[in-house]
């Protein structure tokens, strides 16, 4: 195995760990709701208070990573992520009313998460040229997906000890990942320009002037997919308890169905796009069409234990078609000197989708479940059609101010 492939595999542990930050909690939402006597909206805020701070801080950390390096941002951020988990865990273990301190720990975790997966994506973009970049993005997205697949199962298993053991597991996992990144991943040699923040923002703005429409719909596609995915997972977690009386690892296995199909599809899509070096926009379009169609079918089969997982798998398949294509177009849109900023803005949008999904679906569920599914499905269809019409694939794959493949 080449040195670069080894580094990509090590980097893939970062999105794997980050996705545990939310996906491992979702199967235990009913338990947390009961133990802490929370409403559906309050328990959904455990996701929001993790993802929203990350979304706000990511752009600044992207700037720093372009100026001082990727690893110097990623490693301390991983340790901060673990610290936030420890704060939440100790609060749950030793306080009689721990909810607000748990939320505080989740904020700390989110701030740590801001400097991890998006910066790792930028570093992967630095390591590979355009053609190989799609494969590396597929590997990172597959690792993200595998984390999503395993996290409901891991979360259900860890919670058999005690539900708040989930928070302590973040602290235990973050340290070895930080050590692997620090000692075994080498950044490409290159001059880091000491550009002022205002000039840096001007450069980023010029990229959006040139490719703003294409980048907007790429960002929108990533946001919509993750908004729907995490909203559906939070809804299904409650449904499996209330409708089918599932708990423990069995519930975790069913929640992993859409995530497994997403992971497999993301990896295969990355390989295919690498070979063809085109069809990114087509993959985006087909994926969002599949997501939209699956959301239209889901309300018809919510009470059928045999059909329901199949349609959830279809949702994962559509998501796996969209995300590697979007990741490659976004990371290819800028040169290395601005890549951290662009991918961090995209990371903010992804975190925003994750943050909004569970509370939005909790509120929409109170209004009408069918509207919840059809409305979000319509959003996916609209994003797919408009993106297909307006994304300029060749232009967005050409780094602004640089040559193709930079």
Question: Using one digit for the tens of pLDDT, what is the confidence trace for 45-87?
Answer: 898 898 888 888 887 887 788 788 889 999 999 999 999 999 9
Between helix 336-367 and helix 99-114 the angle, nearest 10°, is 150
Domain boundaries, the chain: 3-183+196-396
Question: Does 19 have pLDDT greater than 60?
Answer: yes
Q: Which residue has the tokens 């989930």?
A: 166
Higher pLDDT, 287 or 66: 287
Q: How far is CA 284 from CA 239, 386, 395, in A?
A: 30, 11, 16
Neighbours of 311 (CB within 10 A): 22
DSSP code per residue over 128-185: S-HHHHHHHHHHHHHHHHHHHHHHHHHHHHHTTT-TTHHHHHHHHHHHHHHHHHHHH-
Q: How far is CA 151 from CA 117, 197, 256, in A?
A: 16, 38, 8
Q: Average the pLDDT over each of 112-121, 243-252, 314-323 and give the range with the smallest value.
A: 243-252
Neighbours of 296 (CB within 10 A): 18
φ and ψ of 342, to 5 deg: -65, -45
Helix H, strand E, coil C: the string for 64-91 is HHHHHCCHHHHHHHHHHHHHHHHHHHHH
Q: Which residue has the tokens 């053991």?
A: 165
Q: What is the pLDDT of residue 131?
A: 59
| pTM of the full structure | 0.74
Comparing C-alpha atoms, which of 284, 389, 380 is closest to residue 328? 284
Confidence band for 100, pLDDT divided at 50, 70 and 90: very high
Confidence band for 307, pLDDT divided at 50, 70 and 90: confident
d(CA 366, CA 374): 15
pLDDT in tens, 136-146: 777 787 787 77
Higher pLDDT, 44 or 220: 220
Q: Which residue has the tokens 């939070």?
A: 234
Q: What is the pLDDT of residue 134?
A: 67
Dihedral angle, C-alpha 379, 383, 385, 386, nearest 10 °: 130
Domain 3-183+196-396, what fold? Growth Hormone; Chain: A; (1.20.1250)
Q: What is the pLDDT of residue 406?
A: 40
Question: Does 300 have pLDDT greater than 80?
Answer: yes
Q: Average the pLDDT over each of 11-15, 137-141, 276-280 and give the range with the smallest value.
A: 137-141
pLDDT in tens, 181-197: 999 888 876 655 566 66
Q: Which residue has the tokens 């002022």?
A: 196
């Amino acid at each position: 195995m080449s040195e670069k492939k080894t580094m990509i595999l090590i980097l893939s542990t970062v999105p794997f760990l980050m996705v545990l930050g939310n996906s491992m909690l979702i199967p235990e939402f009913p338990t947390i709701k009961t133990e802490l006597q929370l409403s559906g909206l309050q328990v959904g805020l455990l996701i929001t208070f993790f993802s929203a701070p990350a979304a706000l801080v990511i752009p600044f950390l992207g700037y720093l990573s372009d100026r001082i390096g990727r690893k110097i941002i990623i490693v301390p951020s991983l340790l901060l992520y673990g610290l936030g988990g420890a704060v939440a865990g100790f609060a749950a273990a030793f306080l009689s009313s721990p909810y607000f301190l748990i939320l505080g720990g989740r904020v700390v975790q989110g701030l740590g998460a801001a400097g991890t997966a998006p910066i790792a994506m930028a570093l992967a973009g630095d390591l590979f040229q355009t053609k190989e970049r799609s494969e590396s993005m597929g590997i990172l997205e597959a690792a993200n997906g595998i984390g999503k697949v395993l996290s409901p199962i891991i979360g259900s298993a860890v919670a058999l000890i005690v539900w708040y053991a989930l928070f302590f597991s973040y602290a235990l996992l973050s340290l070895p990942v930080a050590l692997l990144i620090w000692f075994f991943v080498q950044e490409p040699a290159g001059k880091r320009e000491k550009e002022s923040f205002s000039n840096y923002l001007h450069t980023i703005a010029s990229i959006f002037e040139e490719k703003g429409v294409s980048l907007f719909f790429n960002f929108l596609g990533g946001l919509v997919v993750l908004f729907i995915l995490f909203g559906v997972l939070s809804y299904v977690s409650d449904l499996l308890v209330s409708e089918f009386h599932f708990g423990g690892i069995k519930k975790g296995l069913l929640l992993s169905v859409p995530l497994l199909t997403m992971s497999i599809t993301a990896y295969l899509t990355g390989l295919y796009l690498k070979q063809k070096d085109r069809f990114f926009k087509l993959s985006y379009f087909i994926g969002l069409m599949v997501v939209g169609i699956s959301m239209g079918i889901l309300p018809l089969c919510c009470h059928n234990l045999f059909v329901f997982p199949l349609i959830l798998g279809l949702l994962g398949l559509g998501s796996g078609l969209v995300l590697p294509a979007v990741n490659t177009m976004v990371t290819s849109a800028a040169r290395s000197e601005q890549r951290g900023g662009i991918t961090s803005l995209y990371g903010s949008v992804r975190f925003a989708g994750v943050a909004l999904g569970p509370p939005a679906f909790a509120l929409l569920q109170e209004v009408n479940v069918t509207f919840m599914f059809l409305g979000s499905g319509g959003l996916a269809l609209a994003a797919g059609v408009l993106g297909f019409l307006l994304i300029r694939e060749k232009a967005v794959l050409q780094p602004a101010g640089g040559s193709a493949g930079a």
